[in-house]
Homo-oligomer: A and B are copies of this chain.
């Protein structure tokens, strides 16, 4: 592919300054008599020449097309295994590699294009088939197209008035997600929020309001000491939420998990009774469907039995594992989710919807509205001419709310439920392949026994020099340093990225996760070889 742009004197010039893949379109100006007589005018113009400038339409289209060409080249490059995942530089280096400072004077549009190229040059290629660093990886082409459209529509979810289609699509999609959870006829409520942490916070807020509605007006001083329960392996957002909501982190009681990371129901019940004996009021249990590190699924049926027995709100944090509900082969791992009062489910993780896309689903209708509404009369006027039940903004904590729905909806349309299912099943197959490959391989040790439930594969790589150390403490001390060094080398070579962390008394280990639809069996093979290549001398 080559992008050519012709200068006014009709000499063909190479437009592309970045050395990126060439692009096979020629630009033909409408007002020129022959093809290939385009002008490089974007180079010499400023933002003020673009729309809404009165003759800004051609300049705008040319400018935006230039940006799109940069993006298209970046996308194609990102999927290419010959490309680096990252061109890493230390913060101080990167600060000096470009002029990032903000100025008083405007820059030319040419400079803007250069800034776009520089930004992408140092960006992580999250679409890269060997990018495994987070729970959200990959770049979906239909999702991306939808996000571009969302930006272009540039509106706000708070009322039907300003986002008619998006509000309807949110309604349709939330209903579908509730059906998949198993709530009859998809009844209930929900919202797309800015991430799983906020979705979990909403759940805690609703649970508190359900039990003590007076807390909205009177605050925590009007209610007894509340306590929440979650597994020791749960996401930190449960504690963060408790701190913010004025409940306090000490009122989040961490329940023991078994060796594979699942909450132990007997310990939950014991701690509930203990709390009650102290006069505290248990109001919220957050079960995790897919823990961040181990990918464990808490036993939802047993937990829901306990929640019912003690009349406690049951939340399922399925930010990571909720998407397995789309898979007929794997959804049994969430059996019991239909008994929950609320569910967090982030399509931006396992379903590869572009960031951000997180849903909170709530079984009881109307509760969110009652909990959060403030009746702002300048936004939710009651004398509007349409059905006001579509003005959903007052049930949110946010006032303005970004449109996160369209990318999920359009991807769902493009893939169908079965397309998502196939994508998820494939990621789980890849992780099983990785697990089978390393579980008995020399130099590897699994962090916990048994086949992973989600795509998380947690393991230590022991370089030859450590492998046969006799002193256990010494060995642990060395091993703790291995993963960080291998990770740093991965980033410096730019070949792949995978996360590591300690957990409890377990020293640093790799947590491999696969949510990237671009990954293949060969990429898993590559990862193993790369860890060994980068770690063998340690």
Instruction: Kindly identify, within residues 219 to 244 of chain A, every residue whose CB is under 8 Å from any CB belonging to chain B.
Output: 219-222, 225, 235-237, 239-244
- Over the window 449-460 of chain A, the binary record of Cβ atoms lying under 8 Å from chain B Cβ atoms (1 yes, 0 no) is 000000000000
A-B contact pairs, 14 of them (CB 8 A): A24-B30, A57-B79, A63-B145, A67-B145, A106-B419, A124-B162, A151-B151, A154-B354, A215-B243, A217-B250, A218-B248, A355-B400, A356-B400, A358-B400
A538 interface hit (Cβ, 8 Å)? no
A134 interface hit (Cβ, 8 Å)? yes
Q: How many Å lie between the Cα of A247 and that of B220 in the bound state?
A: 6
Contact B220 A246, beta carbon cutoff 8 Å: yes
Q: How many Å lie between the Cα of A162 and that of B85 in the bound state?
A: 11
A91 interface hit (Cβ, 8 Å)? yes
Q: How many Å lie between the Cα of A52 and that of B139 in the bound state?
A: 9
- Over the window 363-378 of chain A, the binary record of Cβ atoms lying under 8 Å from chain B Cβ atoms (1 yes, 0 no) is 0000000011011111
Q: How many Å lie between the Cα of A221 and that of B210 in the bound state?
A: 19
Give the interface segment out of A258-266, A432-440, A495-503, A526-534.
Answer: A495-503
- Over the window 44-87 of chain A, the binary record of Cβ atoms lying under 8 Å from chain B Cβ atoms (1 yes, 0 no) is 00111011100011001101110110111011100100000000
Closest 7 CB pairs of A and B: A246-B246, A219-B248, A220-B220, A52-B518, A220-B246, A385-B488, A147-B151
Contacts of A147 in B (CB 8 A): 151
Given known pairs A25-B27, A30-B24, A145-B63, the reply for A164 and B75 (CB within 8 Å) is no
Q: How many Å lie between the Cα of A354 and that of B27 in the bound state?
A: 28
Contact B502 A377, beta carbon cutoff 8 Å: yes
Q: How many Å lie between the Cα of A112 and that of B107 in the bound state?
A: 37
How many copies the complex holds: the figure is 2
A535 interface hit (Cβ, 8 Å)? no
Contacts of A499 in B (CB 8 A): 378
Contact B141 A100, beta carbon cutoff 8 Å: no
A464 interface hit (Cβ, 8 Å)? no
- Over the window 136-149 of chain A, the binary record of Cβ atoms lying under 8 Å from chain B Cβ atoms (1 yes, 0 no) is 10010110111111
Given known pairs A197-B398, A220-B246, A418-B105, the reply for A377 and B30 (CB within 8 Å) is no
Contact A217 B249, beta carbon cutoff 8 Å: yes
Give the distance to chain B from A172, nearest Cβ to Cβ, in Å: 5
- Over the window 92-119 of chain A, the binary record of Cβ atoms lying under 8 Å from chain B Cβ atoms (1 yes, 0 no) is 1011000011111111010110011011
Given known pairs A165-B122, A400-B195, A401-B195, the reply for A417 and B107 (CB within 8 Å) is no
Q: How many Å lie between the Cα of A240 and that of B396 in the bound state?
A: 9
